[in-house]
Amino acid sequence: MGRRSARAALMAARNPVVVVGAGLGGLSAALHLAARGREVVVVEAADEPGGCCGTAQVGPYRFDTGPSVLTMPDVLAETFGAAGEDLEDVLPLRRLDPFYRLAFHDGSRLDVVEGAQRMAGNVRDLCGPAEAARYLRFRRALGEMFDAEWSSFIDADMTRLRGMARPYALLRLAAAGGFRRLDRYVAAHLTDERLVRAHTFQSLYVGLPPHKALAIYAVIAHMDTVGGVYFPSGGGMHAIPQAMATVAEKAGAALRYGVRAERVETGASGVTAVRLAGGERLPASHVVVACDLPRAHAGLLPEAARDWRLRRPRYSPSCLVMHFGIDRRPPDRAHHTLHFGRRWAGAFDALAAGRPQPDPSLLVTCPSPDGAAATADHATLSVLEPVPNLTGGADWDRLGPRLTERLLGRMADLGYGDLSSAPSTTFDPPAWARLGHSAGTPFALDHRFRQTAWFRPSGRSRRVPGLHFAGMHTAPGVGVPPVLISGRLAADRIMEDSR
């Protein structure tokens, strides 16, 4: 490094890093940077941290309005550990048992539980001993797939094309079957259709039906059916960003709420500042944009920062979510219950065509009372139905009430009682759009091959030095662990730039 460039790097390191957005990705970046001694300012348009991992209050009931499934707690532990904090001290978690309860249309059910032999016993009871033996072999194959992907593709920086040039890793994935279609990969190991569904429904997390998703996304099934599903012991999922904000501030980051970023300003050497609503200007050596990326491209970012990968974005389906406050806890209910619809392939075909599913599978979440979500002897209940996003042009003023009524009827048929008069709040695609989600989906871009790894919008601007991105629109992608990783990767790049 020459004398002039070394001096420029030193001066840049003295300026703050401005993070736009206090969701999980932005907070992860801020926490990692502050823990390494950088001056960090986080600006958040909302009045509290959380972003997609939000919360809502209806009378005495508090609801998590974002992700309800937490896997890979080691990623969260590493995030807090970067600032010298222990996860158990700042955010105690409990491992759910079962991880999921899977309820099939024929009345049978399967509890997904901890431990290979215990889980194989449940499979044996449902499907017979031969399928249980196949399950154990499949479980080992899932582990091999996860090991092949983690360090090379999930926990790796994909901002450069050479990030894809890992011949050994690609060969290892190919040998594991990672480039087959997910449904065929799973069906090659398992024969009971119920068990196949149990290990392919996760493809909806990445916005694709099982017959279009690559088998590499079987790692999601490994994360939650083998690695386990967790839940914060107090405060629900929204406790995650709250704890992260507290630790980031303790490490030295400044968090400013109710402040909207209007423009990233640039000069000949790259980013120079972030202009806020009202005219205030925050000088910056680096900027991490950790909000909805397509919307940022529409106004927040300079023309030079536009990413070609977003010229024709393909979005994941959206969801209709209803949250209820109830004066009793439903008996014999797991924390997460997935009620499978009778029609499987047809349901995915409808979504792909921009239509509601004729017989949707529903994810029902009923957390154990912890005092933070409901008063004594009361509980909360949330139900999620996948629905089309807003790109299909559906008339949601008419469709929304119809789907809501159908969902209430389905819940009653499933034994949850009449919820029509319960205190509630509802989120549909127009509501997600009002909250800032492009195309009215909280699941961002789907994970087709052309929007995966290096082909996903880059975590670094090639033409604007100092401009970085974090969140679910960048690699690794959607989900709590990937978003946390995206923030850490942004912090790593900034620290490398400052050397």
Beta bridge partners of 94: 231
Could you please report the per-residue DSSP string of 334-350? Answer: -SEEEE--S-SHHHHHH
Could you please report the per-residue DSSP string of 363-376? Answer: EEE-PPP-SSSS-T
The set of residues, in sequence order, having a beta carbon less than 8 Å from that of 353 and lying 6+ positions away, is 392
Considering Cα of 428, then 244, then 466, then 165, what sign does the dihedral take?
Answer: negative
Helix (H, G, I), strand (E, B) or coil at 441: coil
b/e per residue 55-88 (b: at least 16 CB within 10 A): beeeeebbbbbbbbbbbbbebbbbbbebbebebe
Q: For residues 53 and 22, give the distance between their C-alpha atoms in angstroms, rounded to a whole number.
A: 10
345 CB burial (10 A radius; 0-12, 13-18, 19+):
exposed
Closest CA to 458 of 160, 149, 154: 160
Beta bridge partners of 343: none
Do residues 57 and 80 lie in contact, with contact meaning Cβ atoms separated by under 8 Å? Answer: no
- CA geometry: angle 239, 447, 352, nearest 5 deg: 105
pLDDT in tens, the chain (499 residues): 444 444 444 444 568 999 999 999 999 999 999 999 999 999 999 999 999 999 999 999 999 999 999 999 999 999 999 999 999 999 999 999 999 999 999 999 999 999 999 999 999 999 999 999 999 999 999 999 999 888 888 888 888 655 555 666 778 888 888 889 999 999 999 999 999 999 999 888 888 999 999 999 999 999 999 999 999 988 899 999 999 999 999 999 999 999 999 999 999 999 999 999 999 999 999 999 999 999 999 889 999 898 889 999 999 999 999 999 998 877 788 999 999 998 887 788 888 888 999 999 999 999 976 655 676 678 899 999 999 999 988 999 999 999 999 999 999 999 999 999 999 999 999 999 999 999 999 999 999 988 988 889 999 999 999 999 999 999 999 999 999 999 999 999 999 987 7
In angstroms, how far apart are the furthest CA atoms of the chain?
Answer: 73
The one-letter amino acid at 432: W
The kind and range of the H/E element at 254 are: strand 254-257
Write the CA distances from 66 to 63, 127, 358, 431, integer angstroms. 9, 34, 25, 13
> Looking at the chain, how many residues does it have?
499
Closest CA to 40 of 346, 256, 334: 256
**Helix crossing, 129-149 with 116-127: angle to 10°?**
140
The set of residues, in sequence order, having a beta carbon less than 8 Å from that of 193 and lying 6+ positions away, is none
Helix (H, G, I), strand (E, B) or coil at 379: strand
The set of residues, in sequence order, having a beta carbon less than 8 Å from that of 167 and lying 6+ positions away, is none
Write the CA distances from 68 to 344, 473, 491, integer angstroms. 23, 19, 26
Task: Indicate the Cα dihedral angle 434, 438, 441, 446, nearest 10°.
Answer: -170
Closest CA to 53 of 61, 44, 337, 262: 44
Do residues 224 and 96 lie in contact, with contact meaning Cβ atoms separated by under 8 Å? Answer: no
